[in-house]
Amino acid sequence: MKNLPKRAELPQEQTWNLEALFPSPAAWQAALEEAAHSTKEIEAFAGRLAESPQTLLAALETYQSRLLAAMKVFQYASLQLATEGTNPEFIRMVAEARGMLARLAAAGAYLEPELLCLKPEQLEAFMEAEPALALYRHYFDGLLARKPHVRSPEVEAVLAEVSDPLGAHSATASAATNADMQFRPVAFQGESLPVSHSSIGELLVHPSPEVRKAAWESYADGHLAFKNTLAATLQGSIKSFAFQARVRGYPSSLDMALAEGRGCGNRIPRVVFENLLQTFQAHLPIWHRFWRLRKKALGGRLYSHDVPIYDAPAPLVPSPKVGFWEAAEIICRGMEPLGKTYVEPMRRGLFEERWVDWGQNQGKRAGAFSSGLKGTFPYIFMSWSDDLYSLSTLAHELGHSMHSYFARQTQPVIYTNYSLFVAEVASNFNQAMVRSLLLREAQTPEQKLAVLEEAFANFHRYLFVMPTLARFELELYQRVEAGGALTAPFLIERLCELFAEGYGGEVELDKERLGAGWMHFSHLYNPFYVYQYATGIAAANALAQQVLEEGEPAAQRYLDFLKAGDSVYPLEALQIAGIDMTRPEPLERGFAVLASMVNELEKLLG
């Protein structure tokens, strides 16, 4: 492994096409200033929403269009910072864009309180008089459902203004993790292998056990050096959300997260969250059996560094080499059951429009994500290694991007987002479809085992790590809401205990480094996000089975689900595709898929 190149040294084909957003930094700066001035246009409608249907329509359209333009400004800055976390210019740009967004939100804070002052019959009359307003019916319905939790215009304005400082905990954690954190390199055969956020995934599946162990320890120790800082930022983030839940009159932070979400709201019943935790704990014996098999295959001992909670377990067989362009072709073939309507735009994004930033460079942050807005490409961020794990990550993020693509092609601005609850369905669906192709085409037991290893890495993350983090997160919020404090020693000890339960005594624990795992997940700064990975993978595998077994009818239902965006509530969107997440059955099916793969693993190892 060579030293990582600087950002400017990467070939253009390995970077995303941000010029499609803004052709130059000067163009971005001009858009930032224009977005800042748009607050006056939004404020001009304050106190006037009841004047006429046309005034209400103009206010909503003005706010939506100006917010979209402002979000585009923030997106450009945040995407730049993701690729160079130490660049002071990008840090400045993100800070200025975030502040501008907060001011814009404050300028429009009167909208929802004023709308709630309109009686339902008056809103209905407005929609009849101005047909274009009927577009907002679902939005109005979601708003009325949240009426008990919407405060006065003055309070809403204050909450919007403080969103920037309240959100600073995440920014502080990101700066500490992505800009200030240092990792000692790993020595191997006379070389010094650099450890970084973008290279750690490759090191953890290195053929040498010594390299894997040293890389895991280096990465954990780099985080532990910031344990007190990161404990304080996580506690601040949780307190901020708990404060907002109290101000809005919710019984708990969990209730607020389940009800509101992003866009037009979630309306997720609490039973969905409870079903997940109960079903996960009931099926821990499947995971215990899996660890026993891996321990036996690895010579009778299994260590914490063999099963890193933020990445793939140590491989039983090496992954075949897969380059980016080959992987892109495989993914396109895997998604062919959805037809040209799906595959052709995805192919353009991969091979022509440069949606994906996949090169490794100095300062690039950890992880992978999809990000976009109506009128922009659905960009993908990742760091590529030539293996099946990177292929799987690319398939996952393409699931997000194609979900966004169809929602933005089909829906108006207000409905182009979608709940995080359904987001993880689309991403895991792609992985399940591509994995099915790879298993069908595997010609030897070794090839099949390599594909299963990728599958286990996926299920390990979403149906083991994420439910464990969901249990952990719930306890943290309950502790803070009861007046307790979060310290680094407590966080480390409690997370280690929860994973020890999941390992069932089959893994030899490095408690301090394992317990430091909460520092690896920025997801915890997004309240009650992690549980949705687990519900998502369960629904995704059920949908993939339907498409592969039924063909075109199931494929069309799935495409209709993608196109729905935020025009319906998330559980209703899944019902379009044929999944009912209010019952444990989809979760049970997800664990049944896992159990069948464990059975197959036992045969291959035997």
**Pair 98, 246 in one domain:** no
Give the closest residue to 397 by CA, choosing from 376, 439, 418, 367: 367
Phi, psi of 187, deg, nearest 5: -85, 130
Over residues 388-426, the pLDDT tens digits come to 989 999 999 999 999 999 999 999 999 999 988 899 999
Better-predicted residue by pLDDT, 180 or 262? 180
Rounded to 10 deg, the angle between the 552-564 and 531-550 helix axes is 150
344 within some domain: no
**Pair 147, 244 in one domain:** no
Number of neighbouring beta carbons within 10 Å of residue 14: 16
Boundary-marking domain end, from 166, 188, 203: 166
Q: How far apart are CA 324 and CA 557, in angstroms?
A: 30
* b/e sequence 136-150, b meaning 16+ C-beta within 10 Å: bebbbebbeebeebb
601 within some domain: yes
Domain carrying residue 291: 225-317+417-606
**Pair 141, 73 in one domain:** yes
Over residues 35-54, the pLDDT tens digits come to 999 999 999 999 999 999 99
Give the closest residue to 32 by CA, choosing from 98, 87, 80, 90: 98
Share of the chain above pLDDT 70, in %: 99
Q: Look up 329 and say whether it is catalytic.
A: no
Residue 485 sits in a domain whose CATH number is: 1.10.1370.20
Over residues 445-460, the pLDDT tens digits come to 999 999 999 999 999 9
pTM (predicted TM-score):
0.85
Amino acid at the residue 65:
S
Boundary-marking domain end, from 144, 166, 188: 166
**Pair 16, 160 in one domain:** yes
Boundary-marking domain end, from 148, 166, 184: 166
**Pair 485, 601 in one domain:** yes
**Pair 142, 233 in one domain:** no
CA distances from 504 to 213, 513, 561 (A): 21, 18, 38
Edge-to-edge strands of the sheet including 369-371? 356-357, 379-381, 369-371
346 within some domain: no
373 within some domain: no
**Pair 159, 234 in one domain:** no
Overall average pLDDT of the 77-92 stretch: 95
The structural domain count of the chain equals: 2
Q: How far apart are CA 375 and CA 356, in angstroms?
A: 17
Which of these is catalytic: 397, 453, 454, 506? 397
**Pair 305, 443 in one domain:** yes
494 within some domain: yes
Give the closest residue to 399 by CA, choosing from 326, 327, 342: 342
549 within some domain: yes
Number of neighbouring beta carbons within 10 Å of residue 69: 16
* Residue 117, phi-psi category: left (phi > 0), alpha (psi -120 to 50), beta (remainder): alpha
Number of neighbouring beta carbons within 10 Å of residue 128: 11
38 within some domain: yes
Residue 91 sits in a domain whose CATH number is: 1.20.140.70
User: Strand 356-357 and strand 191-193: pairing?
Assistant: unpaired
User: Strand 356-357 and strand 379-381: pairing?
Assistant: parallel
**Pair 132, 242 in one domain:** no
**Pair 234, 148 in one domain:** no
**Pair 27, 135 in one domain:** yes
